[in-house]
Structure 1
């Protein structure tokens, strides 16, 4: 097994472990073409848990299958741990052997477990080690070690039919770790599980990420997964990445679609002479009574139209939509006060309609 590495100690600004460059995948059938990936550039750094989120048909599954070349890209490159996998995907036997060797360092967890029903749990974990030619005694030792790691040490002799969905997924994760991978790919690994089991599997993935120094790339359509486990995220739509970055930075980005999806708040101005503002709280600012301070300091009545609060990456984060009395020009000072408290402020609606040329104040984040 890889040595224990604390994920939080890794340099999040280091070199990417997974990189895709102008990645394109076109399916052709009966004279028709369907573009599943349209020039995708992805950069996942060492030690990150990176989530790719999007609706069904956005291209998420195709992307993750192209990362380990289960799907051959139509064009573009995939590099994992400094190795260009697309250069290994030739037709010659030597190229195929090199690609298989590279794949052994990339673990893959599937949505529907993909366990062999006729094999015991231990034998399922041993399967990739058999393919790699590992001796029987070493296979058994390694499989039992991995089952202990995922909390299934007592299920080695059981068969998949005797396990719950969460236990089956833990076996799938143990099997994915058999080759001591640097990278773990998760293809909707929790979408077939109930909420409580989902939480336990996400906690396991986070623990493995921290203990083994694994870089985890997961795809999901569930925003709660991104909120619970991801350091960075990308939003896909129609085969393209339309937004990406560290989750903490996205939450502080005015107009971020991902931030709005993670913490949806709604509400519209109650009358024409009102300004609606979205406020994002992070860290210590999330525990301060900033809105009440604003009301007292400037003697103004503030309406809260919507709010959402949760924990992201171990830190409390919240978003709130408030209504201020008066037009934008009358609220420049109160908005400045909020920014001085370390909050991200985004003017969501202005009484006299959208501004054609917003001032820098509308676009700048908290200093």
Structure 2
């Protein structure tokens, strides 16, 4: 549904060039909620603004729902120069909704009036606008606030108005730029649930920009990690959790804990699917008659399935624990060796470091 290829954005300030996007390749499948996460300055907001061409990319392509927006932006005529949106580009962008962090509501208009604004631009008459706006407000749970002005709304209600307004053009794609970062945790959960409900009810593809891992865990099917203008890692959450050495997996389910002694092997174990509810660790302890220490654990539910990670400590060097680690992998778990002194003080084998089977 959304694809960027070698996308680059360079901002020129005086004699200095600042590269915000550095060859970004991203693919968001149709019907998914896809999160892009990274620290401030990673390039997330530049990316999402280039997706709907609020910012013109310096190079590369952006394709949304089969339309190459960058090609449409380059087309011009005497009446519509290339630096201004063409009719084709405007039509393509009308199928992309945008939700902003700070709501951007007009204080002089009522809630219904704010939702009607894009409908006015689309040329609907007064009766059509009113009917459509009421329908959208009912969809986001604000039918009773139609005649209220934004100043009388809570932050969460304002964001729901922003979402209703973004849906006015019946978009196939919804872009969310840090839409919940100004909200309290409870309100954040309700807005994220609304986005997920809209994704399912309307078949919307949602591209969500955030710096909060909890947002990704709560609502996303897939995610990408951005750093210094580049995508460093991407995939479905399930695949990421099963990938040895995944930075996103570590951030989504952080586990801490240091070895309690020098002669110990520390292993990060990832549970997903049916294994998340099985007593695998206790079975391991009984099967091999070893004492296992749990140094840290993080469990959560993603897509209705329990997923989690656990850091365990096994007694002895790596050579003494090859078979127990193999047992964990045979049970369908991802087992990644974090710390493992060897009997002779040699480096840990590459196989153990990578957590491969």
TM-score in terms of structure 1 length:
0.93
Equivalent in the alignment of 1:237: 227
Offset at residue 272 of structure 1 (A): 2.5
Which stretches of structure 1, 4 residues or more, deviate above 4 A after TM superposition? none
CA distance in 1, matches of 2:32, 2:40: 24
For each residue in 1:42-70, what CA deviation from the matched residue of structure 2 results, as whole angstroms up to 9, or x when unmatched? 00001000000000000000000000000
CA RMSD of superposed structures (Å): 1.4
Question: Aligned residue pairs: how many?
Answer: 349
For each residue in 1:170-207, what CA deviation from the matched residue of structure 2 results, as whole angstroms up to 9, or x when unmatched? 00000000000000000000000000000000000000
Equivalent in the alignment of 2:356: 364
CA distance in 2, matches of 1:218, 1:355: 41
The answer to whether the 8 Å contact 1:269/1:351 transfers is: no
The answer to whether the 8 Å contact 2:172/2:205 transfers is: yes
Equivalent in the alignment of 1:264: 254
Q: Secondary structure at the match of 2:243?
A: coil
Equivalent in the alignment of 1:332: 322
Are residues 1:43 and 2:27 paired?
A: yes
The answer to whether the 8 Å contact 2:340/2:348 transfers is: no
Q: 3, 21, 26: which one pairs with 2:10?
A: 26
For each residue in 1:204-246, what CA deviation from the matched residue of structure 2 results, as whole angstroms up to 9, or x when unmatched? 0000000000000000000000000000000000000000000
Q: Secondary structure at the match of 1:266?
A: coil
Offset at residue 115 of structure 1 (A): 0.4
CA distance in 1, matches of 2:205, 2:162: 17
The answer to whether the 8 Å contact 1:307/1:319 transfers is: yes
Equivalent in the alignment of 1:174: 164
Offset at residue 327 of structure 1 (A): 1.1
Are residues 1:72 and 2:68 paired?
A: no
Equivalent in the alignment of 1:217: 207
The answer to whether the 8 Å contact 2:337/2:353 transfers is: no
CA distance in 2, matches of 1:349, 1:182: 47
Are residues 1:54 and 2:38 paired?
A: yes
Offset at residue 357 of structure 1 (A): 5.0
Relative to structure 1, the CA distance from residue 269 to residue 183 in structure 2 (aligned partners, 3 Å threshold; closer, same or farther) is: same
CA distance in 1, matches of 2:91, 2:348: 56
Relative to structure 1, the CA distance from residue 30 to residue 157 in structure 2 (aligned partners, 3 Å threshold; closer, same or farther) is: same
CA distance in 1, matches of 2:154, 2:350: 55
For each residue in 1:332-355, what CA deviation from the matched residue of structure 2 results, as whole angstroms up to 9, or x when unmatched? 110111112111111111114784
Q: Secondary structure at the match of 2:350?
A: coil
Offset at residue 360 of structure 1 (A): 7.2
CA distance in 2, matches of 1:355, 1:230: 38
Gaps of 5+ in 2: none
Aligned pairs for 1:1-367 (under 5 A) are 17-90=1-74, 91-92=76-77, 93=80, 96-352=86-342, 355=347, 358-359=350-351, 362-364=354-356
The answer to whether the 8 Å contact 1:51/1:220 transfers is: yes
Relative to structure 1, the CA distance from residue 354 to residue 125 in structure 2 (aligned partners, 3 Å threshold; closer, same or farther) is: farther
Q: Secondary structure at the match of 1:89?
A: helix
CA distance in 1, matches of 2:169, 2:318: 59
Structure 1 range deviating more: 264-273 or 293-302: 264-273
The answer to whether the 8 Å contact 2:7/2:21 transfers is: yes
Relative to structure 1, the CA distance from residue 294 to residue 101 in structure 2 (aligned partners, 3 Å threshold; closer, same or farther) is: same
For each residue in 1:66-107, what CA deviation from the matched residue of structure 2 results, as whole angstroms up to 9, or x when unmatched? 000000000000000000000111354185222111110000
Q: Secondary structure at the match of 2:86?
A: helix
TM-score in terms of structure 2 length:
0.95
Q: Secondary structure at the match of 1:200?
A: helix
CA distance in 1, matches of 2:247, 2:346: 18
CA distance in 1, matches of 2:334, 2:222: 19
